[in-house]
Amino acid sequence: MKADESLRFEWSVRALAQEAETQMTLFPSFACVADELALEFEECLIGFTAAGRLSALHVDQSRLLTELDAKLTAMSGPLHASLWTDEAMRVAPEWADLRAAAKALLDAMGWSRLPPPGERYLYVGPDA
């Protein structure tokens, strides 16, 4: 995994660990923040796995990464569509659990719990 891909993966976990109000500042106002958070993490996890980085993790790091991914997976699908709103991000216990899992992974990886830098990509909005 290249250094920038590693930083992107760290960014995605740090973003998941933040409170909803902070998470919403990381993306443009027209984005579905919950979806963007999950998509960013899943893309980074695929890259992390493809680069063979899973085998370099300590047992606890690997377990915590698996738990974080499992929590996102459990929240996904049509039966859980109500969890993917701004309001659900603020109040749903599933989001609180997800944040706690992300914080545990940050700690295990030795990464900062501070919010990651803001918007990093160019988004094309409805007024484009």
Task: List the domain boundaries for the chain.
Answer: 3-109
Tell me the mean pLDDT in the region 74-99: 97
pLDDT-derived band of residue 50, with 50, 70 and 90 as boundaries? Answer: confident
- DSSP string covering the chain, please? --HHHHHHHHHHHHHHHS-HHHHHHTS-TTS-HHHHHHHHHHHHHHHHHHTTGGGGS-HHHHHHHHHHHHHHHHH-SGGGGGGSSHHHHHH-HHHHHHHHHHHHHHHHHT---SPPPS--S----TT-
Predicted local distance difference test score (pLDDT) of residue 119: 58
Tell me the pLDDT band of 121, cut-offs 50, 70 and 90: low
Task: Judge if pTM exceeds 0.95.
Answer: no
